[in-house]
Every structure is written in C-alpha cells, then in structure tokens.
Amino acid sequence: MPLHPQARDYLAAIGPEEETDFDSITLEDIQRTRAQTDGAAIHRGPLTKLPFVRDEVAEGVPIRIYRADPGDAPLPVVVYFHGGGWVYGSIKRADAAARYLAVHSGGVVVSAGYRLAPEHPFPAAADDAWTVVRDIFARPAFYQSNGGVAVVGESSGGNLAAVAAWQARDAGLRLTHQALVCPVLDAAMGTPSHRAYAKGYVLPAAEIAWFLRQYADGVDPADPRLSPLRLPEAAGLAPATVVTAEYDVLRDEAETYARRLAQAGVPVEHRRYDGALHGFFALPGLFDQGADARSYVAGRLRESW
C-alpha cells in the first residue's frame, strides 16, 4: 500500500532525514535530549483527568498508577512500558497513553519508569520490567488488583513486555494478555523490512543499531532477554495482540513473532496498519490510525479480563 496521506504529510513536514553520525553522540547529548520539552506532546493525546493518579515505587522501580474507576473494587492491572529505544522515554512522556488505557481498558494502569541506557545497560531495563510485573503479583492489594495482569509495550517497550511475558510463564505466573505495538523482537536486524525501510521512514536502521549498541553492546543477539523471537519455546505464553506498521523496519520481526505464537497454540491477533510509520501509536493527534490502534489495543485488553 502507498503511504497513508497523514504519514506522507508528516514526512514532508519533518523534511528529508539528514545523515546522523550516531557514533558522535555523547552521553551529554543524550541527557540533553531527554531533558528537552517534548515538542510532540500536544499530539500524544489528551491528559484526561482521572480520580486516581499516584507515583509509587515497585521494589526500587519508579511507577505511576492510574485508575479511572472512582471506586475501590479490585480491578485487573495493565503494566505499560514506554518506547524510546531503551535510551529515551519516560513515565511523563507516556502519560497520555497511560491515561487513555486507564479510561478505556477497564483496568488499573501501572506505567513503569525502567532504567535507561547507556547509563544502565542490558539487562537493566528487562530486569526492571520483570520486577514491576512480579511486584504486582506479590502485592495485589497494594495495586487494587483482582488478579488479572496484562502487559503492554510500544517499540522497545514492546520488547520489554514480550520478555516479561515469557518470564512470567516460566515463573508460573499467568498473564491475561500481552499487547505488543511495533515491538523490537530480534537484534539481528536482518529482515526484508529492515532493508526496505532502512532510510527515510522515521526510524532508520542505523538508529536501531545505535539503540542496540547503547543498550546491549556485545550481548549475544540470540539471548531471548534481548531478542524474544529467539525464545526456544513459545507454547504457554499469554494470549497476544501484535500491532505493526507497514513502513516500519520492525514490521517483519513482529509479524514473524505473531505467526510463531499462533503455531505454538497461543491465541494471537495481529493487525497491520497499512501505510503507517513507526511511532504512529504514540501520536493519535497526528495519525488517525494511531487513535484507532489505541482503541483496538484497549478493546483487546477489555476482552481479555
């Protein structure tokens, strides 16, 4: 399919991608970028006012808990992992998406502020993600949980959600669902979509390679804590929703993962957004498909409870 008109207009607005010397980026540059005001914040969705939003800590990991239901009855819990290549992103930046899921999923949302690379390399982010999931099972009353727990993540957050899903299975903890949105699932970067969309489509292959170096330089790409697609056995994983964008370097690895789950007997539903770019889910104010994808994921979560 051709680029969606909104995706085409977005690429025209940001202009041609300049060649970036990623090796010249310093830690100070990274920290400065993190500290800058997010110019796309207005497009990330409304900051819906909720009766309950509270910052807490899960075994040392910062979290923010969102609840749209004003009562105190136990509800299922959605653990949300933001994107940003394991280097960028934050609870604050993911605030609009977390609020949306709290309103529309029927659950309490716990947004995880996992440690970022390069200051905290692999497996710090994966360890933090697993810590939050494990804490929810260990302290259901604290989270007002009724026992249902799902994980949701976008991009690198989708990687963390997928890793946490297999860790939960192996620990004997039952997740009700895993929703993976344009996730990073294979560090090999060898798929046709990586070659086809390596340049000019928001997330160049060179940037993915840089993110991987910041997070997991020297790590075996077959380690399933980095590349969930390399997990030896997929049977018994939580039912899944996999969302992909057509013009995304990460498309093929995510779609391969969805097929692998189905072949292993895992209930899975995959939806590709034709003409869409990586990151569309985070910007529903720019992309109608992003708004649709958020609604779709929230609906899938509601169905899973």
Question: Tokens 């957004």, residue?
Answer: 273
Q: Is position 155 annotated as part of the catalytic site?
A: yes
Cα angle, residue 57 at apex, residues 75 and 67 outer, rounded to 5°? 30
Catalytic residue among 155, 156, 227, 304: 155
Instruction: For residues 299 and 191, give the distance between their C-alpha atoms in angstroms, rounded to a whole number.
Output: 30
The SS3 call for residue 13 is: helix
Residue 256 has φ and ψ, to the nearest 5°, of -65, -40
How far apart CA 293 and CA 277 sit, in angstroms, is: 13
Catalytic residue among 95, 128, 135, 248: 248
Q: Is 156 a catalytic site residue?
A: no
Pairing of strands 145-154, 75-81: parallel
**How far does CA 104 lie from the centroid of its chain?**
18
Decide the pairing of beta strands 61-67 and 52-58: antiparallel
**CA 43 – CA 45 distance, rounded (Å):** 6
Query: Residue 84: which residues within 8 A CB-CB, separation 6 or more?
Result: 90, 93, 116, 155, 156, 157
Q: Which of 4, 82, 177, 278 is catalytic?
A: 278
Whether residue 267 is preceded by a cis peptide bond, meaning omega within 30 degrees of 0, is no
* Helices 95-104 + 288-304 axis angle, to 10: 50
Residues contacting 187, CB < 8 A, separation 6+:
212, 216, 219, 221, 226, 227
Q: Is 43 a catalytic residue?
A: no
86: left (phi over 0), alpha (psi -120 to 50) or beta: left
Residue 220 has φ and ψ, to the nearest 5°, of -60, 120
Instruction: Show the tokens assigned to 18.
Output: 């300049």
State the catalytic residues.
155, 248, 278
